[in-house]
Amino acid sequence: MNFTSTLPCSSSTSRTLYSHIGLRAFILLQLLLVQPCLHHPQPCHVLAQIGHTVRVGALLPAQRAARVQVQAALNRAAAGMTRDEDNFLPYNLSLELVTRQPAAADPESLFRCVCQGVVVQGVSAVLAFPQSREELLQVEFMASFLEIPFIKVLLFNLCPVCCPQNRFHLQMVKGVPESGLSNLLLTVLKRSGWREGTVVLCRGWEEARGLLELLNDQTDVSWGGSNSWHLRALLNLTQSAHDDTQIHDFLSRHFKHNTPAPASVLLFGADPQCAAAVLHSAQDLGLTLPMVHWVLGQPLSPDALHAIGLPLGLLAYGEVEQKPLDFYIRDALQLVSRAITKATMIRPDLALIQTMVNCDDKPSKQEEMSSGQYLSSFLPNTSFMGLTGPVEVDQNRSVVLTSQRFHIWSLRRDALGQPTWVTVGSWEGGICRWRTKGGRWRPGMPVVGSRVRVVTLVEHPFVFTRDVDEDSSCPAGQFCLDAGTNNTETLERYFREVGRGNASVLPKDAAKCCYGYCVDLLEKLSEDLGFEFDLYIVGDGKYGAWKGGRWTGLVGDLLNGLADMAVTSFSINSARSQVIDFTSPFFSTSLGILVRSKDTAAPIGAFMWPLHWSMWVGIFVALHITALFLTLYEWKSPFGMTPHGRNRMRVFSYSSALNLCYAILFGRTVSSKTPKCWTGRFLMNLWAIFCLLVLSSYTANLAAVMVGEKTFEEVTGIHDAKLHHPSRGFRFGTVRESSAEDYMKKSFPEMHEYMRRFNEPTTPDGVATLKTDPPHLDAFIMDKALLDYEVSIDADCKLATVGKPFAIEGYGVGLPQNSPLTSNMSEFISRYKSDGYMDLLHDKWYKMVPCGNRGFAVTETLQMGISHFSGLFVLLCVGVAGALLTLAGEHGFFRLVLPHIRRRQNFKYWLHTSQKIHRALNMTYEDVKKQRADREKRCVLFCEDLRAMVRVYWSLSNIIKAKEHTREVRDKVVEKFKSALSYTKISQDLNISRSTVQSIIWKWKEYSTTANLPRHGRALVRNVTKCPKITLEELRRTAAELGESVHGTTISRTLHKSGLHGRVARRKPLLKGGHKKSRLKFSISHMEDTATMWKRVLWSDETKIELFGPNAKRYVWHTPNTAHRPECTIPSVKYGGGASCYGAAFPQRGLGRL
């Protein structure tokens, strides 16, 4: 690596410029004269022989102190790259670093330095070291203007929000940005489970102002659910930083009036005296663990930790293994070198020969890509493992991402009881990793950092289980063992294998993931008390009872020392409290009774129940009266549909009115006559409003009345006679060895003796016996918290809890007697209840579904089935029978009554009642026959018109038919059909219509080929008809695209057979809409002119002669007598283009002597 000396930008650079131009000319000459290499588009061997140098600029800071620091780092970087032979450039290319320093820190000096000292050297990229936000923005502007990649190495983040997406402007920050520190702090707060806190400010906190603002802005972001860190108060001690008494009094007053104390306190400040006074005051005031957790907000060095010795539990963090500045410079140079290497493999001319060598000659618009643009396209796609860790470019923010490592320390006591700093976690690349704590906790040892063994029992929603993932991990929930045994040695062996990461050696069903209400509570306790835990499911699946001279289930594991804690729906009762300890209850419940519903059928006439019988009578009476008045209004109106009104063939009679009223009432969409007079229409609309309101009321009450009822077993409570007199056949039970069975045994021994035969091992088993058909149990007694959850998840809505609750009890965490964890855990559980955390857990795991929102009433509606509509089917059958009787009545009326009325002179006018009866009485057979003939004639004419329309439609559809698909596409359709794909799938894959796919497959099945069969030219004629100006060559190419080789003579002969001949197209003046309107207007205005006037008109015409092109004849295909059609003519204009226009004028009498 070559390293040029640092020169001020005011020195002469003409020699360098001329030498670079000469080198550039020499390279271009070699590129033109030497034959290029094989397998590469550019002469790469020539570049290897001449040893071209890649230059990278380095812009030093204007400030002396920063310039000395950066210059020293550049020297170390150059020496390190030379020593390690880190040359990532191909073809013997060498890297030369050109350093320049501006004369001053103003923008003019900086721009002059870049243009006159760096750009003229033909640099591929530039390293910059801005020291302020203004310099940062200036460098960004220069990068965008010059279109040269600038990599800015920042000692600290000057502007957290100044990271625009600019491909020429990349930032490499040596330190961690304040956004990263805020993420680290929030991660620590989240890991510790602290949801709120107070910030204390000492002198020097201004250095962390940006960090504090980011921390305050990000506290609104939740960590899943509704939990987030909230800034409770901000205490500023900068005015009393040197007075320990004032600090003590201030903290005492604040925390005394603000209760409860915050879960966490963040201390910011660079003054060690103030920080020590605050921590000493917190120790004296008792603001320490487990009530308050102190965190140092600003990062510290490992050496600074030894000066802090209290309080215990204090958390601090700081960067370790800090990389020097020259490491970042070497990684930046390596990033540029790797990008140039990739670019050289494709376009060496753009990668090595720089287009920007003079700021004054920058083109305003480049027709092709510049070298800077070309190189900047490779930088975002370059990543490698550098001296600072993984190096890559964040394309969204134009930032070169590097890696910094932070350690998180906690102040604890060592084995001798002395405070010492212990590394509890590390943070790198935005990921926080916590150190594995110690071994299993034993009584007498501090629980912080130890592993507690916890036993649980699956009981929804408190504990759920599922299988682990393929890699034996649990992304959601906690890993737990379901060994099915309570053998100590077996469990110890399993836990050892899990601790070693060998969970795959466990039995097939032993590894589970546990989650639920109690698992969330356990995670919260472990975070607050600082312990980790191993979770397993009790081997016998029992809560615990005294049986066979020993305790079983959860109680037995606690007494045997197999577990240190039991967390599940563990009821607190007197028998268990005598042998183990319980924390304060975290969930209050009672015993309840679960029953199943019984369905009842609805009666046949249930569909009539929404309305009273008097309402039904009133509706039909009002219907007939309304029809009567409609008929009267229509016949009395001069505009009605009557013979003396509109005088039409159709007449509005009483039967028409009845048909109309019934159609409106029941919402039928049948054809009916409507009144024509205004009075009748008004009455018809009133009747429609009446029917709308009646039907709305009927529909609203129909579902509630018609579906019948669903009844539950009416059990008033534990003292109900059905439970105390089981001889009636009422079966009920509970869970074996549970608190419910213990309560029944002590309070109701006779009832317990009867129900023992019906008890089930678990709650889900008991609920399943209720839901069988027929049910094996009539009622199930268990904790109401568990029964309410079963009701809420019942998809069929057949379960409900009935009766009054009894035997109030609570769930607590079980521990061995005299456990030191009992008091601490009880205190935290009480705090969770007062803070609302337990309510959040309840809302999370008791999500009520529609059945859960039910009020647990004794009766409830059911879904309607066919039995509920049986009355409607009966009504339909009655209607069919009534129609048959009506048909018989019509025949009797026609054969018996009509002849009798015809013989009489009166009672022959029936138009107001029925038009059909009137015609039957007053029309002869010949009149009816003539009327039928007229009707048939109209039908025949209509059919002929319809056929004509169909023929026009098919002709148009043939004209607009899509172009025929190629042979390749048809073969693909057949192949996909052979692969058992459906027509729809083939259509979607090949983007053709489904009907086309069906046609191709039918043709293949019929003729066993997809080739075009011999045809008589219909497609050819259709194409010529659509485009008469198409040539024979174009027709031949179209046929060749479809896999048919046809000679031009064959095409011509086929077209001649169809009457299509090639003729010279007639030229017709191109008249636009404006021309036609003006000519029509002229003609209309002179229609009345005399012949004498027309003789005085001088007529003119014009033509043009082509100058730059042949005025050739154009041929079209057309049949005889169609040459005048627009598609067979060529529009012509008499102006414009390369032509000469000539005009002439002549009078009406012709061309005489002019």
CA distance 923 to 987: 62
Binding residue per annotation — 520? no
CA distances in angstroms from 467 to 491, 793, 1154, listed in the order given: 19, 21, 111
Nearest CA-CA partner of 162 in 456, 345, 397 = 397
**Measured distance CA(357)–CA(123) in Å, rounded:** 8
* Alpha helices, DSSP H, located in 637-677: 654-666
| Segment holding 386, helix H or strand E | strand 384-386
Q: How far apart are CA 604 and CA 608, in angstroms?
A: 9
- Largest separation between any pair of C-alpha atoms in the chain: 147
Cα dihedral: 450, 455, 461, 467 (round 10)? 90
Is there a binding annotation on residue 132? no
| 652 close to 668: Cβ distance less than 8 angstroms | no
3-state secondary structure 76-94: HHHHHHHHHCCCCCCCCCE
* Residues whose CB falls within 8 Å of the CB of residue 151, separated by 6 or more in sequence, listed in order: 125, 126, 127, 128, 170, 171, 172, 332, 335, 336, 400
How many H helices and E strands in the chain?
38, 40
Query: How many other CB atoms are there within 10 angstroms of residue 385's CB atom?
Result: 10
Q: Residue 775, preceding bond cis, omega within 30 degrees? A: no
Distances (CA, A) of 634 to 629, 651, 677, 684, 1154: 8, 10, 6, 12, 83
In DSSP terms, 455 is beta-bridged to 536, 566
Query: Residue 692 corresponds to which tokens in the numbers above?
Result: 């709308």
What's the sign of the alpha-carbon dihedral 946, 949, 951, 957?
Answer: negative
**Count of alpha carbons within 13 angstroms of residue 862, beta-carbon side:** 20
Please give the structure tokens belonging to residue 875: 């009504």
User: 661, 630 in Cβ contact below 8 A?
Assistant: yes
Measured between alpha carbons, how far is 1123 from 945 in angstroms, rounded to an integer?
30
- Give the CA-trace dihedral at 301, 304, 306, 310, to 10 degrees: -100
What's 332's DSSP letter?
Answer: H
571 is in an annotated binding site: yes
Cα distance between residue 482 and residue 456, in whole Å: 10
Q: What is the DSSP letter of 36?
A: P
What's the rounded Cα separation, in Å, for the pair 170 and 128? 10
CA 664, 668, 669, 673: dihedral to nearest 10 degrees? Answer: -50
CB atoms within 10 A of CB 545: 19
- Tokens representing 611 are 């309305």
Q: Cis link prior to 816 (omega < 30° from 0)? A: no
Q: Is the dihedral of CA 832, 834, 838, 843 positive or negative?
A: negative
Is the bond preceding residue 299 a cis peptide, omega within 30 degrees?
no
The verdict on whether residue 783 carries a ligand-binding annotation is yes
* Annotation: binding site: 571, 576, 739, 783
* Annotation: binding site for L-glutamate: 571, 576, 739, 783
